[in-house]
Amino acid sequence: MQIVSALPDLRAARASLSGSLGLVPTMGALHAGHMALVTRARNENDCVGASIFVNPSQFGPNEDLSKYPRPLERDLTLLKEAGVDLVWTPSPAEVYPPGFQTWVEVSDVSRPLEGTHRPGHFRGVATVVAKLFNAFTPDRAYFGQKDAQQVIVLAQMRRDLGFPLQMVVCPTVREADGLALSSRNVYLDPQERAAAPILYRALSAARAAYDAGERCGERLRAIMSEILASEPLARVDYVSAADPETLLDVESRADRFLLSMAVCIGRTRLIDNVMLGESDLFPREEQA
Ligand code: AMP
């Protein structure tokens, strides 16, 4: 496994790989959710590249950039064991050289949900992923459904800017009690960890109502909100039953919904989502 930091070294290492390349972008602190993307990329490509970069521009001023976990040696061991060929671990100055002033902004689908609560977040995400696509020139890039809005924003960017690659979306990997795996779960103390599955319980209750015939967006949100309100440690940022294309809340009836939420458990902000209706969240061209 080649490990490089400088961009010219990445380009040289990339050029030494032959056959198709699958890319898995990450911020490190790897868990089984990340590794599911790596395994899928390994199965579908001749070579696999990964990036580990805690991207400062996608963090707000009061977010957890400085305390975000960075267990680099452990991450590199996991990637090596999983058969990754090339890892890019750039410094912030390599991604954002002095005088940097070019940003990628995806407009409409960046605005609701996470966009409302984390202004500038998707501008940071889209910019760094555009740079990753340019640097690795992958044939396929792997992302988790866990960050559904991120995938929708990046799929829009891929189409708009014409990146010649396929985006592959992998299902959310969960703990046995339903909690979606996240690098931020390590912040939870035991009491908070016990409360955290409330997100998936709320999503599952709304899904059960949908399966029993409920099609009203307002009602699905009420079901989720009621369950979240039963957990004293949970503070809701938003609860949404949205049109999966516009990401805007559906007020009345629909057949497809992206149910999503952001909830603080103590000081840790968790997000989760499920799709109702057709299971494919993304346009055909983005699918595996
Ligand atoms: P991150 O390191 O949090 O930026 O995540 C890197 C990639 O892993 C993103 O595409 C995430 O959507 C994906 N990912 C994170 N958690 C999970 C999970 N629990 N299941 C599946 N994919 C995940």
For the stretch 212-255, pLDDT in tens is 999 999 999 999 999 999 999 999 999 999 999 999 999 999 99
| Shared-domain flag, residues 36 and 144 | yes
How do 166-170 and 140-144 pair as beta strands? parallel
Q: Are 134 and 10 in contact (CB under 8 A)?
A: no
For the residues 271-279, what does the mean pLDDT come to? 91
Using a CB cutoff of 8 Å and minimum separation of 24, what contacts does 205-213 make? 206/241, 206/259, 206/274, 206/276, 207/259, 207/274, 207/276, 210/257, 210/276
Residue 144 lies in a domain: yes
| Shared-domain flag, residues 22 and 125 | yes
- Report the nearest-CA residue for atom 5 of ligand 1: 26
| Shared-domain flag, residues 154 and 16 | yes
| Shared-domain flag, residues 155 and 59 | yes
Three-state DSSP state, 193: helix
Residue 287 lies in a domain: no
pTM above 0.95, yes or no: yes
Which residues have C-beta within 8 Å of that of residue 55, sequence separation ≥ 6? 27, 95, 124, 125, 128
- Report the nearest-CA residue for atom 11 of ligand 1: 144
Pocket of ligand 1 (CB under 6 A): 26-27, 33-34, 36-37, 143-144, 146-147, 170, 172-173, 180-183
Residue 97's CATH number: 3.40.50.620
| Shared-domain flag, residues 142 and 232 | no
Q: Are 58 and 125 in contact (CB under 8 A)?
A: yes
Among 146, 170, 194, identify where a domain stops: 170
| Shared-domain flag, residues 130 and 76 | yes
Residue 246's CATH number: 3.30.1300.10
Among 170, 191, 214, identify where a domain stops: 170
Residue 157 lies in a domain: yes
* Sign of the torsion formed by the C-alpha atoms of 280, 284, 286 and 288: positive
Using the predicted structure, report yes or no on whether residue 265 has a pLDDT greater than 50: yes
Let me know if 31 is a catalytic residue.
no
Q: What is the 3-state secondary structure (H, E, C) of 228-281?
A: HHCCCCEEEEEEEEECCCCCCECCCECCCEEEEEEEEECCEEEEEEEEECCCCC
| Shared-domain flag, residues 163 and 210 | no
| Shared-domain flag, residues 157 and 223 | no
* Sign of the torsion formed by the C-alpha atoms of 145, 235, 201 and 181: positive
For the residues 95-101, what does the mean pLDDT come to? 98
- Which residue's structure tokens are 């400085």? 66
Q: What are phi and psi of 286, to 5 degrees?
A: -85, -10
CA of 46 to the centre of ligand 1 (A): 22
Residue 163 lies in a domain: yes
The confidence score (pLDDT) of residue 117 equals: 97
- Report the nearest-CA residue for atom 10 of ligand 1: 143
**pLDDT digits 0-9 by tens, 170-208:** 999 999 999 999 999 999 999 999 999 999 999 999 999
For the residues 250-262, what does the mean pLDDT come to? 97
Among 138, 170, 202, identify where a domain stops: 170
| Shared-domain flag, residues 145 and 196 | no
Angle at 28 between CA 275 and CA 166, to 5 degrees: 50
Q: Are 270 and 264 in contact (CB under 8 A)?
A: yes
CA of 212 to the centre of ligand 1 (A): 31
The confidence score (pLDDT) of residue 278 equals: 77
Range of the domain at 126: 2-170
The confidence score (pLDDT) of residue 280 equals: 64
| Shared-domain flag, residues 19 and 150 | yes
| Shared-domain flag, residues 46 and 131 | yes
State how many domains the chain has. 2
